[in-house]
Chains A and B, each alone.
Chain A
């Protein structure tokens, strides 16, 4: 993989030259790994540390008085009232509503619905744009593409007004609706793959009497399973990570998603110093889906990013 160096042929002992370059590269690699991963360890370390020790042991690399109480607290497994009664609660702890199970559930409902709807409906549209002939087809697709360029905030405010007129503020459908039926990116992404499919298979199936819907569902869709899964993963991550839109329409506790909950938890923390132990426990809980996707689909995500640069 290393580029051929002109001096290499002249050098008497290339063995020394090449490894020294590689050692430097490996060193840089280690630094990169450390910078990427250590902050995550710091989240876990803080989340496992007793709230009061967070302030006294600021540089201990390991959890101080390791305990899972912070996790139990943010997941609502122990009542903060009880802790106050036992005198465990100190000024270091937030007494904000901490029911991360509910927020976790909300995040799953919202991201799951958006992923299902958006992938299905965008694929249907993408298939039609790639394979079915109808008047104005390419014009409509072009108009979709212009939607890619509009910044989110331009749409968020009128959409907020619209959702409010529908009486959907503080409801799941209010958070889900704008991206449930399509995003221009999803249609564009899937269309590329439908365009690349071989037409022979579909033609053969047409002769055998398959309908358009049958062609789409039984032939075309299974052939783009890979990209479909990629789109689903990207959509899920995107809606899981979204903050501004659910902040506008879904602050209410029963529909509050994790990102909004973390923001509010941070706002409500005690004067001056935030409840770092609790906050980091909540943060750790919110990273779990990212870790799961990373473990199972990391390769796929990397590939899809590499693809996106060449559209």
Chain B
């Protein structure tokens, strides 16, 4: 009887001790995440909620804020500048993404033809533009593309072509922006694609070659489908990124000429820092941008059937 009692008692003590340990463990867990939790609460969660709240206010930072309900959204949707900025942004994305993606795939496929040493050195060099600040890249191209004394025009003259105004003309400004950002990003993207290529089993190509498929056929039937997971990642992230283009435009054209490069983020920036301060309008526009991005992302995922993989079909 007494032996059994001590057994129960010791088990009781053990479980109590375990409980304490567990609680202590939980406490330490919370302690470990505490700094990040504070950071997340103050600078991510709270501002996200506050952005929605501010979008219902008429507020210029200096005088008392006034609750105006959905007025800011109404004003926004009535503002021609806002719709123009959306159009400019979409135009930028439409020039930027397809060109960049096709170029990146081409570069990655080409890199794969070289020895590991050559491709490794090349990948290193291709990353260089991406390491530099947007601002620096923008200024460097602002100089090269200068309408009157830029190097690009000297080059065009040398090969017998007409001078181009590039960022000086509303017809070429947004394309120039797309070009500049392609220069900065295409190396980064092609490295991602290159990593995707490496996951495709060599044996598939060998089998296809035996069946008489040419290189182009192999690219269409093997490379592209099997690259899909990586391409989904590349497209989703680069589309989200290019909808938010700002730096390049802010230091070069400042939205001009004639509003031809006033993208959505620049429009928002102007609500806060140019003309009258309209915090409500600025946040309302940013909330709209957020909903656009979510919609675009969901559509992309659907279209590209991101969840599935084709590798199984081939093995």
Contacts and interface: CB of A to CB of B under 8 A. Distances in A.
Q: Is chain B found bound to chain A in the same assembly?
A: yes
Interface of A: 1-6, 21-22, 25, 28-29, 32-33, 35-37, 39-40, 42-43, 46, 54-55, 58-59, 121-122, 124-125, 127-129, 132-135, 137, 140, 143-144, 147, 149-155, 157-162, 164, 177-182, 184, 187, 212-213, 216, 237, 240-241, 243-244, 247-248, 258-259, 262-263, 266, 273-274, 276, 279-280, 283, 286-287, 290-291, 293-294, 298-299, 301-302, 305-310
Task: Give the dominant DSSP class at B's interface.
Answer: helix
Contact of A3 (B43, B205, B210): B205
B143 A125 contact: no
A42 to B, nearest CB: 6
B94 to A, nearest CB: 19
B36 interface: yes
A128 B32 contact: yes
Q: Which of B22, B149, B243, B289 has the most CB of A within 10 A?
A: B149
A188 to B, nearest CB: 11
Interface size class of B (residues with CB under 8 A): 35 or more
B251 A266 contact: yes
Contacts of A37: 125, 128
Contacts of B194: 306
Interface string B267-293: 011001000000100110011011001
Contact of A155 (B48, B188, B206, B250): B48
Contacts of B132: 241, 286-287, 290
A244 B195 contact: no
7 contacts: A125-B37, A157-B279, A158-B46, A287-B136, A291-B128, A302-B124, A306-B195
Contacts of B206: 4
A59 B158 contact: yes
Given A124-B36, A162-B50, A266-B251, 14 more contacts: A1-B115, A36-B125, A37-B128, A40-B128, A42-B144, A55-B149, A143-B45, A147-B40, A154-B290, A157-B272, A160-B272, A162-B47, A273-B148, A305-B195
A25 B115 CA distance: 12
Please name the 3 residue pairs, one residue from A and one from B, whose CB atoms are nearest each other, closest first. Answer: A181-B39, A134-B29, A158-B47
A279 B139 contact: yes
B140 interface: yes
